[in-house]
Amino acid sequence: MVKTETKQKILEVGAEIIRKKGYNNTGIQQILQAAGIPKGSFYFYFKNKQDFGMAVIDYYTEIIGSRFQTFFNDPQYDSITKLREFFKSHNEMFESENFEGGCPIGNLAQEMSDQDEIFRKKIEKTISLYLDASTKLIEEAKKEGTITTNYPAQSLAEFIFNSWEGAIIRMKVEKSLTPLIHFDKLVFEHLLQ
Amino acid sequence: MVKTETKQKILEVGAEIIRKKGYNNTGIQQILQAAGIPKGSFYFYFKNKQDFGMAVIDYYTEIIGSRFQTFFNDPQYDSITKLREFFKSHNEMFESENFEGGCPIGNLAQEMSDQDEIFRKKIEKTISLYLDASTKLIEEAKKEGTITTNYPAQSLAEFIFNSWEGAIIRMKVEKSLTPLIHFDKLVFEHLLQ
């Protein structure tokens, strides 16, 4: 493997282990072993575990961002449907994973926000990128008349995002899609109407 | 200290460390040291760390349950206000803790649901106790006419609980009460109206 491929491999494998086991509960050796990368080569690519943690957040930010863009730019949907379909698009994946893992950003937010200020700021920034994009969709939906509430778009976007994160945690407890189905109906058929 | 006092001390100190640092990230020695209890006496009171984890969930279930009862039984409030005041009653504590820690049950739900089936089931049961009580309040509020939506009481109770948990995680990221203020307004002044 060339250098960038090795780095990418460590990142892909490590990100998934951290999503499922937690950051503190995951060792660098465990990641390298799972990735089939020789012991000791980690520090060739990452300064330390925290530096790797930042790369994991970037990795997921990019994946989630590109998934968001797919719906954001889909001309077949009006603005509110774009947002709704973005959320719903995760359900198949969650189901295929037996409702384990959940949201990597939400997990790290819960685990790391009190423990590491660099993590907290990085997570805050990632969330704000998503919130800016979804706030725009809600503003558009207000103009299109598909949302009639006069509550500010940004507050709605924040509440919806937080509720989704809560629903995902509940999915992990219930091992069922039901919390996400309630989330979808209550937000898009009640709250925003 | 007599035996029950020692056990209670380990529990109180250990529960708070786990709430702030996570279960996997907390060692038994760390708990005993913080509690000022001689090394080695842990296994006199608890079978193992998992057994202690179950006791921690019981400990918080009791605290949250008694807080809930305070509002549930307060004759000055109608049903929906009881529920709203229960949520709001946490904000002062969150603020005094500089928005660290958050909800012990939500934290363990996120961290442990995929990793330990005994934890998952225990957490599920604790959440269901809370949900039964809040579903009752919402049913009462429907009879009192303070909630007019025809959405089923249990689904509303679940969505509201999940959204609160999401708002608490976001509070930890933002280090601000704002997510909880939005939660309060959007749920009690918009969703349920």
pLDDT, one tens digit per residue, over A131-142 is 999 999 999 999
- Rounded CA separation B161/B134 (Å): 9
pLDDT digits (tens, 9 = 90+) for B123-182: 999 999 999 999 999 999 999 999 988 899 999 999 999 999 999 999 999 999 999 999
Taking an 8 Å cut-off on Cβ atoms, the answer to whether B22 and A20 are in contact is no
Buried b (16+ CB within 10 A) or exposed e, B131-160: eebbbbbbbbbbeeebbeeebebbbbbbbb
Each residue of B100-125: b (16+ CB within 10 Å) or e? ebbbbbbbbbbbbbbebeebbebbee
- Spell out the residues 6+ positions from residue B105 whose beta carbon is closer than 8 angstroms to its own: B57, B60, B61, B64, B123, B126, B127
Chain B residues touching A159 at Cβ < 8 A: 163, 167, 179, 182-183, 186
Of A120, A156, A186, the CB nearest to B173: A120
Q: How far from each other are the two terminal CA atoms of chain A, in whole angstroms?
A: 53
Burial class (CB in 10 A: 0-12, 13-18, 19+), A140: middle
d(Cα A70, Cα A161) in Å, to the nearest integer? 18
Tell whether the model's pLDDT for residue B53 goes beyond 80. Answer: yes
User: CA of B103: which chain A residue's CA is closest?
Assistant: A110
Residue B193 banded pLDDT, cuts 50, 70, 90 = confident
Say what the pTM is: 0.96
Average of per-residue pLDDT values in chain B: 95
> What does pLDDT average to in each consecutive run of 10 residues of chain A (193 residues)?
86 97 96 91 93 98 94 94 96 97 98 98 97 96 93 96 98 98 96 88
Buried b (16+ CB within 10 A) or exposed e, A148-168: eeebebbbbbbbbbbbbbbbb
Contact check, Cβ <8 Å, B169/A165 = yes
User: Number of A:B CB contacts under 8 A?
Assistant: 147
* Least confident span in A98-107, A183-192, B35-44, B77-86: B35-44
Note whether B164 and B84 are within 8 A (CB).
no
Q: How many residues appear in chain A?
A: 193
List % helix, strand, coil for chain B (3-state, nearest 5).
75, 0, 25
* Residue B64, pLDDT above cutoff 90: yes
Q: Residue B3 contacts by C-beta under 8 Å, 6 or more apart in sequence?
A: B45
Mean pLDDT of B54-79: 95
Q: Return the H-helix or E-strand segment holding B92.
A: helix B91-96
Nearest 5°: phi and psi at B38? -55, 135
Among all residues of chain A, which has the CA nearest to that of B113? Answer: A173
CB-CB neighbors (< 8 A) of B161 in chain A: 166, 170
Q: Give the integer Cα–Cα distance in Å for B29 and A179.
A: 38
In this structure, are residues A100 and A172 in contact, taking their beta carbons and an 8 Å threshold? Answer: yes
Helix (H, G, I), strand (E, B) or coil at B146: coil
Candidate from A24, A127, A186 with C-beta closest to B159: A186
For residue A190, give the nearest of B149, B164, B174 by CB distance.
Answer: B149
Mean pLDDT taken over chain A: 95
